[in-house]
Structure 1
Amino acid sequence: MITLCINQTSTDPYFNLAAEEYFLKNFEEDFFMLWRSRPSVVVGKHQNALAEINHEFVRTHQIPVARRLSGGGTVFHDPGNVNFTFIRNVKDISEVNFKVFTVPVIEALKKLGIEAYTTGRNDLLIDGKKISGNAEHVHRNRVLHHGTLLFDSHLEALKGALKVDLSKYEDKAVQSNRSEVTNIADYLPNPISVEEFTDFLFGKISKNYTEFQVYEPTLEDIEAIQKLSIEKYQTWDWIFGYSPRYCFTNSMNTANGAISVSLLVEKGYLAEASFSGAISAEISQKIAEVLAGCRHDYEAVKAALLGLEDEFQQNGLSFDELMNGMF
């Protein structure tokens, strides 16, 4: 079986995630692909996207949020992080385990003087610190396995984007396991750039296959991937609306006193909203009415509440405090 090998040049996270699905579902060949994306947060298929991100940090730094096809936890991508993707045909899904795909990566890192290892979980470590998270998705008789490699990633941005308060959310979503992370570059005996690292990995892992072919996506491939990116991966319904049903609760201190917020969200939309404490029943009811059916999205909620801004001021309520209390 020929293995098609791609050293992807796109840094668009939505395009890259769409490319994985496209190659998985529209080809019969096995694949090996390396790719990097501009700064972005990528949540697992079964996660509550809002519960996994630091809203203020992501909004302030204009970091896009994406959802991938596989399960597992949330990861941070940037140009210093190298992603690897394997797509393989199997006769029986039980034949495949994570080690089939992580061992080639570990062996390639060893050639650079890096002693990486796995603890049996879906990650790779150096000196007890995480450098890689892995996940899989099965489509018919094909397995997609992908993972991250923190080479020279902006770790402070990673920590800032993923710093969340999970106590506000009650749901059945898969939650991320937060681990101490590190960069591969800090352990290299001989410094190299991320581009050199990517090229080394691509050459080393590609040659593990007896029949490998460097594949350049055709114009038809690129157009189909871009179409999938636009129609699925860039949509709010996929990124946030795909999240499972959840309850959001929070308490905020205002000049009038403490106000409690309770939101019921289904498929990303506000089904119920209630406010109690230092807020009148009349204002609470008005807020609930304008939010009914609204996306649990900062800009959508802000637009819905703007018509009540004067009433908030008259009742000594801070518009910004109310907004922040709902995220």
Structure 2
Amino acid sequence: MTISQARNIGLPLMNLVKMGGTPILQQLQLEEKLLRTTSDNWCIINDGTNDPTIVMGMSGPAELLELEPVIQDQVPVIRRFSGGGTVIVDPGTIFVTFICNRDDIPGIQPYPRPIMKWSGELYKEVFSGIGDFHLRENDYVLGNHKFGGNAQSITKNRWVHHTSFLWNYDVRNMAYLKLPSRAPEYRSARNHVDFVCRMKDHMSRSTFIEKTVEATRNYFMVRPLQLETIDTSKTLFTPSTRLLSKEELSSALQSQTKKFCLERVQ
């Protein structure tokens, strides 16, 4: 018996699914279905998505978007099933998601703060000896710069915690996002480019993924699965995660313009 096998004795099982370049809409809809229709633990790792896409939280306001260029450039906008903020993702983003049963991590209550704290401890192992990593106001940061944003969805017996890691990013895409009115205190009103950093300056993509899987083994017995082997076709399910239509975005832009005009008159 190897040391790794001995360490895993008695740990709950977690299915590991690695993907590469899977469209973020497909990934989020899969995660939502696995959360709500299965009783297994899952770790989903997607190494990049296919095209630049804006992803908004369940109740994220369109006011966080520069709607005119978003519509003009036909940038897809998704409203996901979980909470959290608005991000733009692209092939330089690495996604890691944990879908867990509430009782399978001892001592972790199914509430946002305990789950965030647990995830921070896991990623502290991943980034051990690399930069000044810590969890800060629900963000993963290196020094004073954010490189990982989180969102969660919590049900009665299960929860999902997913993260988009900025391994790399295109500065031009940041122009589609407005500065949020509510932001972490440590942001100090910095613009997007000054606020974030690239993970590629500290770690390769493959090393990050390998270290994340290894850190997960401290809490679960990890079983790799191929995406094609996941059969959820027999379960009827309609995901709430969806692509917003051009009409919805245009309507939001009209509302913004009308509101701006009224404020100017007043």
Find out whether 1:18 has 2:18 as its counterpart.
no
CA distance in 1, matches of 2:142, 2:230: 41
Give the Å deviation of 1:276: 7.8
CA distance in 2, matches of 1:63, 1:197: 31
Q: Secondary structure at the match of 2:159?
A: strand
CA distance in 2, matches of 1:213, 1:18: 22
Q: Secondary structure at the match of 1:137?
A: strand
Deviations 1:107-162 (A, max 9, x none): 11226x2331112x1101112011111121112200111112111122x1342110
**2:84 match:** 72
Amino acid at match of 1:82: I
1:150–1:184: 8 Å Cα contact kept in structure 2?
Answer: yes
CA RMSD of aligned residues (A): 3.4
Structure 1 spans left out of the alignment, 5+ residues:
167-174, 252-259, 263-274, 278-327
* TM-score, with length taken from structure 1: 0.61
**1:186 match:** 201
**1:150 match:** 166
CA distance in 2, matches of 1:54, 1:146: 25
CA distance in 2, matches of 1:248, 1:47: 18
**2:124 match:** 106
* TM-score, with length taken from structure 2: 0.74
Q: Secondary structure at the match of 2:33?
A: helix
TM-aligned CA distance change 1:27 to 1:82, over 3 Å: same
**1:42 match:** 55
Find out whether 1:59 has 2:39 as its counterpart.
no
Find out whether 1:138 has 2:150 as its counterpart.
no
2:13–2:223: 8 Å Cα contact kept in structure 1?
Answer: yes
2:134–2:141: 8 Å Cα contact kept in structure 1?
Answer: yes
Structure 2 spans left out of the alignment, 5+ residues:
1-11, 104-108
2:95–2:164: 8 Å Cα contact kept in structure 1?
Answer: yes
1:116–1:124: 8 Å Cα contact kept in structure 2?
Answer: yes
TM-aligned CA distance change 1:54 to 1:197, over 3 Å: farther
CA distance in 2, matches of 1:69, 1:61: 25
User: Which fold has the larger relative contact order, with Cα–Cα distance below 8 Å and residues 6 or more apart in sequence?
Assistant: 2
CA distance in 2, matches of 1:218, 1:160: 36
TM-aligned CA distance change 1:158 to 1:176, over 3 Å: farther
TM-aligned CA distance change 1:220 to 1:165, over 3 Å: closer
Q: Secondary structure at the match of 2:227?
A: coil
1:40–1:78: 8 Å Cα contact kept in structure 2?
Answer: yes
Find out whether 1:29 has 2:46 as its counterpart.
no
1:114–1:187: 8 Å Cα contact kept in structure 2?
Answer: yes
Amino acid at match of 1:33: I
TM-aligned CA distance change 1:164 to 1:115, over 3 Å: closer
CA distance in 2, matches of 1:210, 1:21: 21
CA distance in 2, matches of 1:235, 1:60: 15
CA distance in 1, matches of 2:232, 2:60: 28
Give the Å deviation of 1:213: 0.4
Equivalent residues, number: 234
The percentage of aligned residue pairs carrying the same residue is: 21
Give the Å deviation of 1:206: 4.1
**2:135 match:** 118
Find out whether 1:93 has 2:93 as its counterpart.
no
CA distance in 1, matches of 2:231, 2:52: 24
CA distance in 2, matches of 1:45, 1:216: 29
**Which of 7, 18, 23 matches 1:7?**
18
